[in-house]
Structure 1
Amino acid sequence: MALFEATNVHGGYGGMNILNGVNMSLEADEIGVIVGPNGAGKSTMLKAIFGLLRVSEGEICLRGESITNADPVELVKRKMAFVPQEKNIFPSLSVEENLEMGAFIRRDNFVHMLEQVYSFFPPLADKRRQPAGELSGGQRQMVAMGRALMTEPSLILLDEPTAGLSPLYMAEIFERIISINKAGVGVLMVEQHAKQALKIAHKGFVLVAGQNRFTDTGENLINNPEVAKAFLGG
């Protein structure tokens, strides 16, 4: 049984569809990457999965159970996490306070998870008392991802995790994503740096006009001449 599956998903804003029949599936040990041109529906798909956008047709399942149009708080309780591209930290709170905010639904002792997050993101450990707003862009992204991990999700959704980052930080964020996945968390992310992201992807989904244009392994998509020419800069 797949960890996550979306079948023929339609949805949009103000009565206008942006998603026009998207299909995706992901196993528990996989990284999935959604790529495509601007306006293709990539980020919209993540919002639809996380209950932030109403699905008008189709079905989304988590571990075989329908979560179509479920409330985001309910999805967090069901071990899904979402990291938006913007406004994804509390700038005035310390790094550790940001992480603790990620455990808002927990009633157990989550100290072990704090330490695991610091093991995923070592730069944060030394700055745990520092206001998150004072960190570099890459480190702020680590805080956002770390906060999402505090609920110990089985699936994490990442919307453009390397947006605005230097190539050095981009490579580091991708390394952290691999580590998170190897620790047992399924990852589904939208990424503008398509070629670099597909290199770490088990599955890739190329969306165009709200539909799957290509679906394959990351490696096969990189080596597909049509995909390379149209979506990967040659």
Structure 2
Amino acid sequence: MPLLDAREVHGGYGGMNILNGVDMAIEADQIGVIVGPNGAGKSTMLKAIFGQLNVTQGDILLRGEPIQNLPTNRLVELGMGFVPQEHNVFPSLTVKENLEMGAFLKPGNVKRMLSKVYEFFPPLHEKRHQPAGELSGGQRQMVAMGRALMAEPELLLLDEPTAGLSPKYMYEIFDRVKEVNAAGVGILMVEQNAKQALAIADKGFVLAAGQNRFTDTGQALLADPDVAKSFLGG
């Protein structure tokens, strides 16, 4: 049974569909990457999975149980975490305070999970007493990911985790994604750095106009000339 299984998902905003029958499934030990042109519905799909927009048709299953249109706090309780692309830290709070905010549903786990997050992201331990707003973009992204991990999710959704980052931090974030996944957290992320993201993906989903154009392993998509020509810049 897949960890996440989305079938024929339709949904959007204000009565207008952006998703027009998207299928997406990953296993618990996999990294899934969603790529495609602007306006393809990539971030919209993450929001549909995380209950941030109305799914009008189709099913989204977490460990075989339907979750579409559940409130986000219930999804966190069920084992899902979400890191949005923007406004994903509290800039006036310290790094440690930001992380503690992520454990509000499991306050008894704070000490143990802080230790675990610092293992994933060693720079955060060094800067734990510093306001998050003073960090570099890459370190702020680590804070956002760390805060989501504080609730011990089985599935972590990442929306453009390397947007605006230098190549150095891009590869650093991808390395951390692989480590988090190896520790037992399924990952589904939207990424603009498509080639680099597909290189670490077990499953890749190429969306266009709110539909699946290609679905395969990351390596197979990278090797597909049609995918390269249409979506990866040649």
Q: Is TM-score (shorter-chain normalized) higher than 0.5? A: yes
Give the secondary structure class of the aligned counterpart of 2:204: strand
Report what 2:134 is aligned to: 134
Matched pairs, number: 234
Report what 1:94 is aligned to: 94
Report what 2:156 is aligned to: 156
Q: Once the two structures are superposed, what CA deviation does each residue of 1:29-86 show, in whole Å capped at 9, x if it has no partner?
A: 0000000000000000000000000000000000000001011000000010000000
**C-alpha separation in 1, matches of 2:171 and 2:106:** 32
Report what 1:207 is aligned to: 207
**C-alpha separation in 1, matches of 2:195 and 2:62:** 28
Report what 1:42 is aligned to: 42
**C-alpha separation in 2, matches of 1:158 and 1:223:** 24
Give the secondary structure class of the aligned counterpart of 2:109: coil
Q: Once the two structures are superposed, what CA deviation does each residue of 1:86-142 show, in whole Å capped at 9, x if it has no partner?
A: 000000000000000000111423211101100000111100000000000000000
TM-score (norm 1): 0.99
Over the residues paired in the alignment, what is the CA RMSD in angstroms?
A: 0.5
**C-alpha separation in 1, matches of 2:228 and 2:47:** 27
**C-alpha separation in 2, matches of 1:15 and 1:109:** 41
On the 8 A contact 2:79/2:153 being kept in 1, the answer is yes
| 2:178 is the alignment partner of 1:172 | no
On the 8 A contact 2:103/2:109 being kept in 1, the answer is no
Q: Which amino acid aligns with 1:179?
A: E
**C-alpha separation in 2, matches of 1:233 and 1:120:** 33
Report matched runs for 1:14-25 at 5 Å.
Answer: 14-25=14-25
Q: Which amino acid aligns with 1:221?
A: L
Give the secondary structure class of the aligned counterpart of 1:108: helix
**C-alpha separation in 2, matches of 1:222 and 1:127:** 37
Gaps of 5+ in 1: none
On the 8 A contact 2:34/2:188 being kept in 1, the answer is yes
| 2:103 is the alignment partner of 1:103 | yes
Q: Once the two structures are superposed, what CA deviation does each residue of 1:167-200 show, in whole Å capped at 9, x if it has no partner?
A: 0000000000000000000000000000000000
Report what 2:116 is aligned to: 116
| 2:182 is the alignment partner of 1:182 | yes
Q: Which amino acid aligns with 1:6?
A: A
| 2:218 is the alignment partner of 1:218 | yes
Say if 1:109 and 1:225 are closer, same or farther in 2 by CA, change over 3 A. Answer: closer
**C-alpha separation in 2, matches of 1:213 and 1:120:** 34
Identical aligned residues as a percent = 72
On the 8 A contact 2:154/2:184 being kept in 1, the answer is yes
TM-score (norm 2): 0.99
Give the secondary structure class of the aligned counterpart of 1:109: helix
**C-alpha separation in 2, matches of 1:46 and 1:129:** 32
**C-alpha separation in 2, matches of 1:107 and 1:232:** 43
**C-alpha separation in 1, matches of 2:154 and 2:175:** 19
After TM superposition, which residue ranges in structure 1, 4 or more long, deviate above 3 angstroms?
A: none
Report matched runs for 1:49-68 at 5 Å.
Answer: 49-68=49-68
**C-alpha separation in 2, matches of 1:222 and 1:109:** 40
Residues 128-137 or 109-118, more deviating: 109-118
**C-alpha separation in 1, matches of 2:173 and 2:233:** 22
**C-alpha separation in 2, matches of 1:198 and 1:78:** 28
